[in-house]
Structure 1
Amino acid sequence: MKQRTLLITLTGPDRPGVTSRLFSTLASFPVNVVDVEQVVIRGRLVLGVLVMYAGGPPTGTGGTIGAMWAAVERVAEDLGMEVELATGTDTKEKRRRGRLHVTVLGNPMQPAALAGIAGRIAAAGANIDRIERLAHLPVTCIELEVSGADPLALRTALAAEAVLQQVDVAVQRSGLLRRSKRLIVMDVDSTLIQGEVIELLAGHAGCMDEVEKITSAAMRGELDFAASLRERVALLEGLSADVFERVREEVVLTPGARTLVRTLKRLDYRFAIVSGGFTQITDALVEDLGIDYSAANTLEVVNGKLTGRVVGEIVDRPGKARALERFARQAGIPISQTVAIGDGANDLDMIAAAGLGIAFNAKPVLRQAADAAVNVPYLDTILYLLGISREEVEAADAEDGLTPPATGSPLH
C-alpha cells in the first residue's frame, strides 16, 4: 500500500506540555514519526511533526486518519494554537549538495543585511534549511544552514555582500570536521592582546613614533618582517631589562580572550600562541591563560641591558606557519583541524596553512586571504564561527561558579 505523509505544524504561545499533548494524541493512531523540529521565539512556539502512514488522503471525518486529523485539530483548539496540516506521498528528504554553515555577525544586525545575505544565497540557487541565533548581545550572530551551493562561489558572493551591509560573514562546510577536536593557533599582538608589545617597549625607550611607523608598514606587508623587526629592536639598545616587568603589567587582553581560551579548553581543544613579539612577555601569557604551545622571539640581554638584537631564529611569516605545523604534530592533530587567527601580513602563511583561517580586525591584505573575517572587538565571537552559542558558554561558566556578565556586556 502506498505510504503517505502528513505534516502537522502547531503555532502559538509556548507552554509546558504542548509537545507531550500532541504526541500522546498521535500515539493512538497507526503512524510513524519521520521528522520533528521545534523552535521558540520570544515565547511563541512553532512545532512541526512529519508522520508517515499507509492509505489514501485523510479527507472528511471517516476512517482512522480522518479521526487523527480531527483529534489534532481539537488539541490545537484546546491549547489556543493554530494548526496547519499538509499531506504528501514523498517520504524521503532530498539531500542537496554543498551543505554549508553561513555565520553572520552584526553590531547591530539590520534587516537589510539579512535580506542581502538571503538574496545572495537564493541567487546562487541554494536553499536555507535552518536558521538559528547564536548570540544577541553585545553582537548579534545568526547562523544559517544552507544546501545546494558551491562553497567557493557562495563565499565570494557573500563576502561582497558583507562589505555592502557592514557585517561579517563566514562560510564553512558542515559535517564532523566542524565538531571535531581542534588546535587553535593565535597571533598575540593586536589579536590576543590589545596593541603591540614592541611599541610598549619603545614608549619606555623614547622612540615610540619611529617604531609605530615601521610596525604599521610591516603589518600592511610593505616591509620584510624580519628586517623591520631588527630595525625596531635596534632602537631599544641600552634599555634596562627591568622594563619587561613594567610592560607585562601594561599588557591588556582583548575583550573575550579569557572566555575564548577557557571555553575551548573545556572542549579539549589545544591552544597555541605564535608571535613576532618576545618570549619575555608571551611566557607570562602562557602561564596566565594555560596555553599549551608557544613560539616567539627572544630579546638579547647582557649585563641587565637590552643589546638591540634578537637571539636565535626570528619568528616571521614563514616561521609562524612552521610553528603551526609543529604544534599540530605535537598535539597529534591534522592540519585540516587547525584554526589560525591573526591580524597582519605576518600571519598570511599561517592563515593559508590552517584548516580555517580567521582574520581578526585585520589589515586588508589578510582579510582578503582568510576564510572568515571578524571586525568586532570581541575575541570570543570566534566561538560562534565554531558553532558555539553565547548561551552555551554562559551555562558552562555558571556550572563552574563563574559570575555571569551583565546583560549586553561582553563575556569575560
Structure 2
Amino acid sequence: MNYQETIDYLYSRLPVFQNIGARAFKPGLHTTHQLCNHLGNPQEKFKTIHVGGTNGKGSSSHMLASVLQEAGFKVGLYTSPHLKSFTERIRVNGTCIEEDFICEFTAVNKSYIESLDPSFFEVTVAMAFSYFEKCEVDVAVIEVGMGGRLDSTNIITPLLSLITNVSYDHTQFLGDTLDKIAFEKAGIIKENVPVVISEKQDIDVTAVFELKASERNADLSYGSEHFEIFNAKHVDGKLIVNVFDKVSGELKYDHLVLDLAGIYQLKNICGVLTALEQLKKPYLQISREAIYAGLLKVVNNTGLKGRWQKLHEKPLVYCDTAHNYAGVSYTMQQFNSLPSHQKRFVIGFVADKDISAVLELFPKDGQYYFCQPGNLRALNAAELQQKASNIGLKGNVHSDVNEALKAAIFESSPDDTIYVGGSTFVVADLDVI
C-alpha cells in the first residue's frame, strides 16, 4: 500500500475517536502493552516526559520539546489530534514522521493488528514509540490523549510527569466532578517519578494529586508556587514576561519572549519552567540560553499551529483550538480585549459535548457565522444556530468554516475583529492554516 492507501486503511479498519467519539473510546492499557510487547517494547529504549491535563497539555508539550531541541537533544514529540496531516502527530526535532515508515510499520504489523483489534489511537501510540526507537531519540515528550490513568500513552515510565490543570471536558468518560477528573489525570503519576502540577487549584483537586503522589513516593511541585509571572505584555505578536522565582526570591527570567501569545500561556509557562528545573537537576543539561531560545521559537521548532494564531490583518482574524469552557473563557477574554469596531465569530462544535455553558461565554452583540467541522462528530450548523439563537447569539449558517470566514471578512470593515474556533476540528478545516 502507498501512503494514502495506508492512511485510508488505518482510518477505515480502526475506530477513530476524533471521527466517531464514544464508539472509538477504548480505555485500558492491555492492548497497548500487547502491541508494544510485539514490537519489542520500544518505549523502554529512550527517555520520556509525560504531559497530561485538561487544557494546555499540547502547548506545554511543544514548549518542552522546543527547549530540549535548543539544548541540543534529539527530541521526539507525540501529540494528538492532528490538524492537517496524520504525520503531525509524530515528530522528531520538529520534522514529521516519514510516510514510508507509516507504510512499512502498517504492512509489517497488519496481521497482528487485525488479530488484536486495537483502536486507531492505540496503533498510533505504538507507531510513535517504534519510530522514536528507530530514530534513536534522546528524549521524547509524550502528550496524553484523554485522561491519563487508562490512556494508551500511560505505559511509559518517564523522567517526569507534568499535569497542567483540571477542568471539565470529556465528562462522559472522565467523570462529572473535578476530583473525579483529577483522579484520572493523576493516573500518570509513577513510582518515584517527580510530578509537576502547573496550577494549584481547589482543595479537592489538590488532595487527589497529593494523595496519589504520596502513594507513589513521587516528589510533587506546583508551577504556580515555584514561579510568578509579572509585567506580561504583547509586543509584535509575541508574549513578553518577567518571571520571579518564589523559592529563591530572585528574578529568574527577565524579558522572556514566547511566540505562543495566548494569555492562557501565563499559566502553562510556570509548569513548563518548573518541569525544566526538575529535569535539569539529575537528568538533562539545559542552559538558560536554551530556555530563552526554545520558548521564542516553539512554532518554528515544532510546527505547532492553531494556538492564538493570527490569520489576517484588517480585519484582524485569530483562530484558537480551545474547545471547552475553561479554554474558551481565556480566549474570549483575550479576544474581547482587542480594540474592535465589530466583533465577529466563526464557530462550530462537535455534537457529543454539552456546549450550553461554552456558548454563554460569547458576547450577545457579536455577529455570528455558524459552521460545522468536516467529521462524523460534527454538530449540524443549523442546530448550532438554533442553540445559539436561544441565548441571543444571532447569525447565519454556512457550509463550512472556509465559507464562513470568507463571508465574515467580506462583511467586515478594516477595524473589525474575527474569531475562529469552538472546536479543534473547525480550526483544522481552515485552508489558511
TM-score range, shorter chain: under 0.3
Indicate the structure (1 or 2) with the bigger Cα radius of gyration.
1
Please give the TM-score of this superposition, normalised by the length of structure 1: 0.26
Please give the TM-score of this superposition, normalised by the length of structure 2: 0.25
Larger proportion of strand: 1
